[in-house]
Amino acid sequence: MMDSAVVDRELLSLIRGDMVACGTHREVYKFLPDTSLVIKIEREGYKFDNVTEWEIWSELCKTPYSAWLASCQTISPNGVVLIQERTSPVPEAMLPKMIPSIFRDTKEENWGLVIRNGKKLFVCHDYAHSRLLNVPKKVRLVPAKWHDPSYKGWTK
């Protein structure tokens, strides 16, 4: 039988494509079997952003908030690997003036565009730090701060 580390490496090479980007805690790669998805890999322990994102998506996927979130497809048993809907960069002119109140880490790089059912949607792909508790039933929009020079990308 072939060494299992070799098999794991070979399997990975069939699944993990080029790196899309690297955030503070996660590396993001193309998912070769389906390029409409990405692989998000936690770089260090104790952050659990993949797990939190998965939980948030599971909680909100059947609510109107789903139109603002990159969907999560599956997660590995320990949360190190998350498969998520792939977004494309948002042209400056398409940044919306208002976004839902539940988001906290609202830097421009945490957002992207997806096409769902033929409709272009502006979605957040880094929502591990949004407010999941007591989410208002109806989506409440607040002004986005893309061009506010005093905003450091974090809403209390």
Q: Pick from Mg ion, ligand ADP, none: which does 135 bind, CB < 5 to 8 A by kind?
A: none
Q: Is residue 23 a contact point for Mg ion (CB under 5 A)?
A: yes
Site for Mg ion in 106-145 (CB under 5 A): 110, 126
Question: Taking contact as CB under 5 A, which single stretch among the options 16-24, 50-58, 111-119, 148-156 is the one that binds Mg ion?
Answer: 16-24
CB of 130 to ligand ADP, least distance (A): 12
State both tokens at 115. Answer: 């096409």
Considering the complex, state which of residue 123 and residue 135 has its C-beta at the smaller distance from ligand ADP: 123
Q: Is residue 25 a contact point for ligand ADP (CB under 6 A)?
A: yes
Q: Is residue 20 a contact point for ligand ADP (CB under 6 A)?
A: yes
Distance CA 10, CA 28 (A): 19
**Which candidate, 41, 36, 50, places its Cα nearest to that of 12?**
41
**Which candidate, 105, 47, 35, places its Cα nearest to that of 78?**
47
Rg (CA), the chain: 17
3-state secondary structure (DSSP) of residue 31? strand
Q: Is residue 79 a contact point for Mg ion (CB under 5 A)?
A: no
Q: Is residue 52 a contact point for Mg ion (CB under 5 A)?
A: no
Distance CA 14, CA 7 (A): 11
Q: Which residue has the tokens 């790089």?
A: 109
Considering the complex, state which of residue 9 and residue 116 has its C-beta at the smaller distance from ligand ADP: 116
State both tokens at 128. Answer: 């591990």
Q: Pick from ligand ADP, Mg ion, none: which does 41 bind, CB < 5 to 8 A by kind?
A: none
Provide the binding-site residues for Mg ion, judged by CB under 5 A: 23, 110, 126
